């Protein structure tokens, strides 16, 4: 497998305080990699190290298969990034901010137009940034990051402050970049419900900064088996039928639950109930959400905040 980002026992921080310890990350090319962890786990520090903004105390970073320290600044021309709050010129318009970066990157004017359209900021592009809401600043920051369709995007909390329209635009942008341009996108976010809609791969740090999981979204889901939820009439008879058919059923008030269920399980359960004349009101496989999986692996009671 080819990787856009590889880190080997990457360690770093600020002064004598090491925030990140021995992180070995593998981000496949063309993936949307959800980078998760509680506050203080070292996600932002890791991204800074990947961009060469911090020097590692130990370990290495490889971008596109080459050591970062040997390929600067050339490698970063292929990378777009947004770190926490976007750095913008308040006294200039949104379009002017994009124009500065476009010229620095040697891109065409239409590249800025595409970014403006993709993030839905055309109505505000001529306004001064100091007049922007937090959500509009965030959209502009993302637009700057994606200028020229970079091969790799590193986005730290890109969904902060976005309203429903902004979130929809972000999801559509991520999918377009991945499908049409093969862009690799690493996203650190505490908005796990939104990240669940776009992530193909996931890396999870615990509170100590240890990488407790790394793999595909499907591999993560397999850590917590999905369950089949059943609601029927004639509950006592239905329970006898299902247990007689070899199913281990957990009875919960109005419903039955079968853990570790597959589609074949669902088909067999439905057949047994129908053949015995039992009315089925609900029969659904419930998948574990990214949030529930994150909590299971980290023991966290909250989502994955930004730092």
Per-residue model confidence as pLDDT tens digits over 47-63 = 999 999 999 999 999 99
Residue 306 has pLDDT above 60, yes or no: no
The pTM of the full predicted model, rounded to 2 decimals, is 0.81
Q: Are 13 and 56 in contact (CB under 8 A)?
A: no
Residue 293 has pLDDT above 80, yes or no: yes
Give me the mean pLDDT over the 265-293 stretch.
88
Q: Which two tokens stand for residue 241?
A: 């039928």
Residue 225 has pLDDT above 80, yes or no: no
Strand partners, 152: 79, 184
Q: What is the pLDDT of residues 77-128, one digit of tens each?
A: 899 999 978 899 999 999 999 999 999 989 999 999 999 999 999 999 999 9
Residue 51: what pLDDT? Answer: 95
Domains and CATH numbers, the chain: 3-215 (3.40.50.300), 227-286 (3.30.70)
3-state class of 191 per DSSP?
coil
Q: Quote the CA–CA distance of 113 and 116 in Å, as a whole number.
A: 5
Give me the mean pLDDT over the 141-169 stretch.
94
How confident is the prediction for the chain on average, in pLDDT? 90
Give me the mean pLDDT over the 191-200 stretch.
91
> Looking at per-residue confidence, does 29 or 292 come out higher?
29
């Amino acid at each position: 497998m080819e990787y856009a980002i590889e880190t080997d026992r990457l360690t770093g921080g600020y002064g004598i305080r090491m925030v990140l310890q021995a992180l070995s990350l593998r981000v496949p090319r063309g993936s949307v990699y959800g980078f998760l962890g509680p506050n203080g786990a070292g996600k932002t520090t890791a991204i800074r190290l990947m961009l060469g903004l911090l020097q590692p105390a130990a370990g290495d970073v490889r971008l596109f298969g080459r050591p970062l320290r040997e390929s600067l600044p050339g490698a970063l021309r292929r990378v777009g990034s947004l770190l926490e709050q976007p750095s913008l010129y308040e006294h200039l318009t949104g379009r002017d901010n994009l124009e500065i970066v476009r010229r620095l990157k040697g891109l065409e004017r239409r590249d800025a137009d595409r970014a403006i359209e993709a993030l839905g900021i055309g109505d505000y592009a001529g306004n001064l940034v100091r007049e922007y809401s937090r959500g509009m600043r965030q959209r502009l920051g993302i637009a700057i990051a994606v200028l020229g369709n970079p091969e790799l995007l590193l986005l730290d909390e890109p969904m902060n402050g976005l309203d429903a329209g902004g979130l929809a635009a972000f999801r559509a942008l991520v999918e377009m970049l991945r499908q049409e341009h093969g862009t690799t996108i690493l996203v650190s976010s505490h908005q796990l419900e939104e990240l669940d809609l776009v992530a193909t791969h996931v890396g999870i740090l615990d509170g100590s900064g240890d990488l407790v999981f790394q793999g595909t979204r499907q591999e993560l889901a397999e850590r917590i088996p999905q369950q089949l939820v059943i609601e029927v009439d004639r509950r006592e008879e239905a329970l006898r039928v299902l247990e007689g058919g070899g199913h281990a059923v957990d009875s919960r008030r109005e419903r039955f639950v079968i853990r570790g269920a597959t589609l074949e399980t669902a088909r067999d359960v439905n057949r047994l109930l129908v053949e015995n004349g039992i009315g089925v009101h609900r029969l659904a496989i419930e998948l574990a959400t990214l949030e529930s999986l994150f909590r299971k692996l980290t023991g966290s009671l909250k989502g994955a905040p930004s730092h």
